[in-house]
Structure 1
């Protein structure tokens, strides 16, 4: 699901619910849930699920098709008629699984844009669908966010029941692969380490260990043996820098 309103869309702010959000043990910040009613062509149902349109609507009778060809009559949808299932079910309440986090809401206020309200990092949920005969659907959308302060809450409260222009941006898609380049513009290729060889048999491991101990014993400090042999006095003299 990827529900969004990418351009200015007429909407009615039908409800505003001021809330609070607890942050940590003691801090409490303001939050708000805004519910809008947006009327869209039934093709927008595909943003929720592609199976909804053919389930709720059909192409209809020849009269509806003839009306669609009349000059000056806007074609709302190629599927204007409600199916018997849609008539029987009426309004639909999708499950909470359709919510989207990380959304942005832009509410246009006034003609100049100076009073516009922009809310970040919200959760958008389609609460109710109201299919209508003729190819239109009422979407009831709730936008929840804590990106508000007391002043913004006051501005939102006076907009209740008003018709507004809004834009709803869905979460940004993250690329599946990110190319990392160095300062010269070349691609950085990770260096793969060589896999360690097998340890060998018990006899081979014992042989390597004995050889290593022999080398340490020959060159060890303070009393090496063999060709590196020294007396305790000579070793002490070397340790303190004496000749």
Structure 2
């Protein structure tokens, strides 16, 4: 039987997560910043649809990007070359998550509920959740957001309003994280889109070991101050 958590109930051991659906661990509790950070530090994340209780997951295997192994896609280089784009960090977290929550052309709903919007806005306010934005002519055309814990960045969602917009945001985020000592981006659940971008599957045990080893990593707070990123220098594309 799936455990139901109250506000003061600790998370079960992730080894108790279901095999099918893969990684479902518990239901209930709340989305307070304290609860969310305890979850991420244990390799757990919330994912549920409107009308459902809060569901907590820890899948096995886990999809990740190792930042040292990531390669810029040719399509991203081309998009950067052919468009006058600006890339920023933490300049408009609220709009990024709202865009990620908007219905997509391939479905009719979203898993990012109003409750989730408020919860991650609070995480951002407390310095745990961050975003990368892609702008064209003053309009937000791509972005990604997630949660930093130790040397791991847990990617939550991304969106695109132009071709390659989300890939540009992801690429700039990965290179920015690499420049500041981060080791990987947790993509949580495998999907074909992430596979094409070069994600790797690792076991939950390996992920938890990397997560635990990375908790002592403490990047400078200056790293997350809102700023415009020099993407040409960051990506080594000064000739673009």
Structure 1 length as normaliser, TM-score? 0.21
Q: Which has the higher strand share?
A: 1
Structure 2 length as normaliser, TM-score? 0.22
